[in-house]
Amino acid sequence: MAKLVIIDDEAAILELMTKLCKAAGHQVIGCTAGLDGIAAIRSNAPDLVIVDLRIGDVNGLDLVSMCRDQFPNTAVIMVTGHGSVETAVEAMRLGAFDYLTKPFDLGDLIKTVNQALQRNGHDTSDAPVMPAVSSMLRSGGSSKLIGHSEQLQRIFEIVRRVSDNDSPVLLEGEFGVGKHIVARSLHEASRRSSASFKELQCSAMPEEALDTELFGPNSIFKRVAGGTVVLSEVNQLPPRIQSQLNTFLDETQSKRTWGGNAGADFRLVVSTTISLEDAVRDGKFREDLYYKLSIVPLKIPPLRERRGDIKPTVDHFLKELAERTETKVKVIDPAAVEFLEKYNWPGNLSELRNAVERACAFSDGDRIKPSDLPAKVTQQIEVPTPAAEGFTKLPIGSTLDSFIKAQEHVFIQETLKYNSGSREKTASMLGVSIATLYRKMGLNAERKTTA
């Protein structure tokens, strides 16, 4: 059993971390104020300190320095948000063992605690076996993709097939589509699930900090200890770091192939919101590194391409929110669902989750109505069409491509009327092939045309 001091000014998070570490067999003192935490450290000389980088009355970096100078046998784990990763790396330079980036999995907290204690000579082999913990430490941290669409089923199948394959996985998709969730699913389905899962936001750090975090003596690849490393926004890596990563992966593969000192053991997953192949074509990313990282490519579709998954996802968010707030699960009115399914969700799952939380906050009873939804979801634009048809309505947030397709469909229909329904004449007049006309009309190209 080790002595721990945990310092976090968010009481609910502090209580959760404290309970989890106690369940793992440790003696824990929890503090919501930095000065109280310092007093607890000085009076107890703990084996480990977990501290939030940003607490009201104390700078987390100062606390790391204090432990290094006054309590050299005390390990420190820093807790930070994505935007403060650079500062967290600075904390490691000052002597911190590791950092956890919010939101993080509760299981990763215990794994990191055990690694820190083991490095300081503590035997954690007899620690209580913790049950699988998949909930995220922070609100809005759903740990799985929800839906029955063909696109999602294909992703689930690929995750199942490659989970125990150590080949790098490239996840591509827009902001908020769930790339982190897929990466987590790969980790939890693999033989590495009992080891750490660590994610590094490449866009959040300057070049020097990236160099230290990726290739320094206490790099993320070494700290993951047989687990999974996720490099988010890998396209943001500077050219010099790309070159170093390319060489590092060559050396790692060589050690794995020839045995001996295998070096760092990890599974690599990278993600990006842009096409990495396009970045190579534009000269912004190394081609040889791209081929190393894209052995298993996986594109995560946006919500607007799988609208049938919106309703089950909303139901999941409602249940998740009710569990977190210990309230009754609210139901959503079919009219509200219709608005949600028409909106294009440029922010994808993140935007949908926020809309659901807002709707719950604004609803009076147990049912969410259209009036409870954000205005941008329910507001629509009237687009003029031929006089006989009046106006068509497109939701605010619709893409320019959606507008063009709507107008294109109207123009095709009017041209068909002019040609008395002849699709061949219409295709010729529009200057497209008959196959293109059928595709734009949403018809099977093998059907016979009208003479």
Distance CA 53, CA 59 (A): 7
Structure tokens at 397: 């947030």
Kindly list the structural domains of the chain, giving each domain's residue range(s) and its CATH number in brackets, ordered by start: 1-123 (3.40.50.2300), 151-301 (3.40.50.300), 304-378 (1.10.8.60), 381-441 (1.10.10)
Cα Rg of the chain (Å, integer): 26
The beta strand positions in 9-63, using DSSP E, are 27-31, 48-52, 54-55, 58-59
Taken as a whole, the chain contains a residue count of 451
Handedness of CA 392, 398, 403, 406 (dihedral sign): negative
Distance CA 87, CA 69 (A): 19
Going by C-beta distance under 8 Å and a sequence separation of 6 or more, which residues neighbour residue 43? none
Distance CA 25, CA 126 (A): 9
Nearest CA among 194, 171, 195 for reference residue 183: 171
Beta-strand relationship, 228-232 and 197-201: parallel
Distance CA 82, CA 191 (A): 27
Q: Give, for all 451 residues of the chain, the pLDDT tens digit.
A: 899 999 998 888 888 899 989 988 899 999 999 899 999 999 999 999 999 888 877 888 889 999 999 999 999 999 887 557 778 788 888 889 998 887 777 778 888 999 899 887 776 655 555 544 445 555 445 567 888 899 999 999 999 999 888 899 999 999 999 999 999 999 989 999 888 899 998 987 889 889 999 998 889 999 888 899 999 999 999 999 999 999 999 998 887 766 655 567 899 999 999 999 999 999 999 999 999 999 999 999 999 999 999 999 999 999 988 887 888 999 999 999 999 998 989 999 999 999 999 999 888 888 999 989 998 888 765 555 544 455 556 555 556 776 677 778 878 888 888 888 888 888 888 888 888 888 887 765 444 444 3
